[in-house]
A = this chain, B = another copy of it.
Amino acid sequence: MSNRVVLAYSGGLDTSVAIPYLAKMTGGEVVAVSLDLGQGGEDMESVRQRALDCGAVESIVIDAKDEFANDYCLPTIKANGMYMKQYPLVSAISRPLIVKHLIEAAQEHGGTHVSHGCTGKGNDQVRFEVGFRALDPSLEIIAPARDYAWTRDKAIAFAEEINLPIEQSTKSPFSIDQNVWGRAIETGFLEDLWNPPTKDLYAYTEDPALGNAPDELIISFESGKPVAIDGRPVTVLEAIEELNRRGGAQGVGRLDMVEDRLVGIKSREIYEAPGAMVLIAAHQALEDVTVERELGRYKRLVDARWSEEVYDGLWFGPLKRSLDAFIDSTQEHVTGDIRIVLHAGKITVNGRRSSHSLYDFNLATYDTGDTFDQTAAKGFVQLHGLSTQIANKRDREA
């Protein structure tokens, strides 16, 4: 069987030049696969054509926006997915979906290899390759940037050498990954942790200091899924898009963090994820009202572990699946409305209502109508603290 490399193709310089390069290195053909995950920018047809211009024997474009929203962003909402309590897994959840479509393309088009453009010091190589081997270990993996030390300079030289029809735009100083769930930015001057981000980094969000009037909105959930905004029904994708727009206008969802990569180093990352941050904030506020205390306490641990597994490239791992089973079982009653104010970069929840609420006005109120039996409390407190009391007595005596 002759070699056929199925490449995760972004349309950018690096993966464009990789097409002839991979063909040369393997002595085979290249199939380009591009996913529309709502990253915006160039239209997908131009991307598709460019791959062919660069020598791909097939160039496949897949509109995966709804699939991404429903099968990857929604589980992240349910898990309040935040790595290190901050990062909503923007790139981490897109990789397994790309993997899935690459493997399908490889199986359909006789692929022998799969390939991605990631370097050897990031997380995405892990997410790609663990996914590839989970779904089809018979495919060989090529990561030119890592395995051939393929750099941008080499790519440009090679493009010139073979007269590749690629216009090299002025080199952007930014390394960017974006999709409808958010946008990740790395760039040289941020590698000094003391440097603040500059305004030109951002594309999904306005400057929070602009002084726009606050935007109040109501998000409705059914069993953990956002189903309406301000009363208008939405798909998950539409919810993210609308909140990207409205949150972005308020400068909401900017993140500046130092992150622990799976490969063992710390790195500085800037993210913008207005829709993601608003949806998770609303979802969590609704859980606070509809999820019982002990379940809520444990779910916070499970959410954190889920986020680590997904960050660590183990989307297809068995633990991820069982954590999903736990999380899904908690969402049945996460139904109701959350009112939120977006303003000047800040998300403020100021109202919740739910027919599935566990909040009981009559138990909580200090006014007339209180049904809480205070006489029970005395004994409760006594036994709740008994083992502490005994331990302190022992400590004094010992």
Contact = CB atoms under 8 A, between A and B. Distances in A.
Interface of A: 84-85, 119-121, 125-126, 129-130, 133-135, 137, 143, 146-147, 149, 175, 186, 188, 191-197, 208-209, 211, 214, 254, 256-260, 262-268, 284-285, 288-289, 291-301, 304-305, 308-309, 312-314, 316-319, 321-326, 328-330, 332-333, 339, 343-346, 348-353, 355-361, 363-367, 370, 372-395, 398
A127 to B, nearest CB: 9
Nearest to A296: B260
B385 A129 contact: yes
B339 A322 contact: no
A297 B311 CA distance: 13
* A-B complex: 9 closest residue pairs judged by Cβ atoms: A264-B386, A120-B374, A379-B379, A130-B385, A376-B379, A344-B344, A120-B377, A325-B329, A260-B293
Contacts of A372: 120-121, 263, 265
Contacts of A312: 384
A314 B385 contact: yes
Given A119-B374, A149-B374, A288-B257, A353 B194 contact: yes
B318 A388 contact: yes
Contacts of A258: 285, 288-289, 352, 359
Contacts of A378: 120, 143, 146-147, 376, 379
Contacts of A353: 193-194
13 contacts: A129-B382, A194-B352, A264-B384, A265-B387, A266-B293, A267-B359, A291-B318, A313-B381, A316-B388, A324-B329, A325-B326, A373-B382, A377-B379
A175 to B, nearest CB: 7
A300 B255 CA distance: 19
A228 B268 CA distance: 25
Nearest to A351: B194
B382 A125 contact: no
Given A147-B378, A291-B318, A373-B382, 5 more contacts: A120-B375, A121-B372, A193-B352, A295-B317, A324-B329
A267 B382 CA distance: 18
A322 B79 CA distance: 14
Contacts of A133: 382, 385, 388-389
A254 B258 CA distance: 25
A48 B7 CA distance: 57
B395 A333 contact: yes
Contacts of A373: 379, 382
A333 B384 contact: no
A208 B370 CA distance: 35
B289 A125 contact: no
Nearest to A367: B188
A298 to B, nearest CB: 6
A220 to B, nearest CB: 13
B296 A359 contact: no
B344 A317 contact: no
Contacts of A324: 329
A316 B370 CA distance: 26
Contacts of A339: 194, 196
